[in-house]
Amino acid sequence: MKRKGLFGFTVLVLFLSLAVISCGFSNLPNLFATETPTPTQTFTPSPTVTPSATPTQTQTPTPAPTGIETRQESNGTTTFIDHDNNFQLTLPSDWFIIPLSAKDITGILNNMAEENPELQASADAFKDLDPDIIRVIAVNKDSKYIVKGFSSNLTITAIKDKFLTGLPVSFVTGFLEEEMEKGGATIIEMDELVVTSASGVEIGVVEFIQDTPTSTGGTISAQSHMLVFQTSEALIMVQLVTPKEFAGELFPIMDDIAESVTLLK
């Protein structure tokens, strides 16, 4: 099917890349006559003042917010709001949160590299990503999760496609698994293929292992946990990928992210 093939190509490319009423009045004159036989003096009324209509003020609608917004919470987590794609979720603490469409993206990446020089290669790579597709990237602050130059990372991707947003989420995740197996990934069987967030959003779950090249020229076995859900605007994929040995430590945060997913009106 043509659309299915297009989706497969899109997925492949993604894996390779990785908002007074006014009133008037009139004053009527008095009319009187003297008691003498002299002619009565008549006062000619002044013209009545016709009130002029005051234009009614038209309220200018407040423009809907656009772009993305991040809000730091008191517990260290970050609320991520995507106004373009109508959803929000909560990202974990102890991660560098990098909105790729931010005006100060260069400064954010430089600060990240200064705080952890081992992330310099990752910072350089992020500058070339498309912010309309890759909405945000998060990188763990702990160097423990960097192996051979490969940094554990979390990405949020948006694919604007009415066809994909209209399919059952279980079908979409099944097709993702099929495409990833073709690319050499090993799919991990999950206890739950579809979960529901606290606000009632259905989310598909995919987990797989794949050999991944690193910035040092080597290869590692990387394990990915992906959440897939739909908004009225796009198919959203939230993916955490880490060296396989850290999957058990890091993947539980994906349960919290899934629980927090909310669609915006």
Output the furthest CA–CA distance in the chain (Å, rounded).
Answer: 124
* pLDDT tens, position by position, 33-91: 334 455 555 555 556 556 666 666 667 777 778 888 999 999 999 999 999 999 999 99
Is-contact 244 221, C-beta < 8 A?
yes
> pLDDT-derived band of residue 16, with 50, 70 and 90 as boundaries?
very low
**Closest among 108, 82, 80, 85 to 96, alpha carbons compared:** 108
Q: 177: which strand partners?
A: none
For residues 239 and 224, the answer to whether their CB atoms sit within 8 Å is: yes
Tokens of 164: 């994909």
Per-residue confidence at 154, pLDDT binned at 50, 70, 90?
very high
User: Is 66-263 a CATH 3.30.420.40 domain?
Assistant: no
Query: Which two three-digit tokens encode residue 69?
Result: 């917004």
- Residue 191, pLDDT above cutoff 90: no
pLDDT greater at residue 215 or residue 22: 215
Q: Where are the domains of the chain?
A: 66-263
**Contact, 219 vs 209, CB < 8 A?**
no
Which pLDDT score, from 0 to 100, does residue 50 have? 60
What are the φ/ψ torsions at residue 105 (nearest 5 degrees)?
A: -60, -40
Among 239, 185, 172, 247, residue whose Cα is nearest residue 212: 185
131-148 pLDDT tens trace: 788 888 888 989 899 898
Tell me how many degrees the CA angle 109-113-114 measures, rounded to the nearest 5.
Answer: 115
Angle between the 2-17 and 169-182 helix axes, to the nearest 10 degrees? 60
Q: In what order do the strands lie in the sheet with 68-72?
A: 68-72, 78-82, 87-91, 262-263
pLDDT band at 197 (very low <50, low <70, confident <90, very high): very high
